[in-house]
Structure 1
Amino acid sequence: MKHFSLLDLSPVPEGQTAGDALRNTVDLARLAEKAGYHRYWLAEHHNMPGIASAATAVVIGHVAGATSTMRVGAGGIMLPNHAPLMVAESFGTLATLYPDRIDLGLGRAPGTDMATARALRRHMSPEDTFVQDVQELIGYFDDMPENAPVRAIPGVGTKVPVWILGSSLYGAQLAAMLGLPYAFASHFAPAMLDQAIEIYRSSFRPSAILSKPHVMVAAGVCAAETDAQAYFLRSSQMLAFARLRTGKPGKLPLPIENVESEIPPAVMDGVQHALSVSAVGAPETIKPQLQAILDRYKPDELIVTAMIHDHKARLASFEIAADVLSGLVSPDA
Structure 2
Amino acid sequence: MEQYIKFSSIYYQFSVQRLPACPLTVHALLHIPYNIRNNGPPCNNWTFIMEHWCGSLLPSIKSQKQPFICLTLRQYHTAQLFEVVNHYNVTQLMPLRHDMNVPSWHEKLFLKSACALSYLFFLRRAVEQKHIPDMTIQKKIAKHMKTSFGGSIGAWLDILPQIMEHWAKVHIGNGGDLIQGSIAQMSSKQGLHNASFVHYELNTDSNAHCPQAKEDFVRTIYYGHLEYILQCTLPPNPISKNTKPETVLLGILTTCNTQQCDATLRLTYFKTMMLYIEIVDLAAICTVIGRIQTGTTDPWWAIVDQSGSWAHTVFTDDLLTADAVQQVDL
Structure of greater Rg: 2
Confirm or deny a common fold (TM above 0.5).
Answer: no
TM-score (norm 1): 0.20
TM-score (norm 2): 0.20
User: Highest relative contact order (Cα 8 Å, sep 6+), 1 or 2?
Assistant: 1
Higher helix share: 1
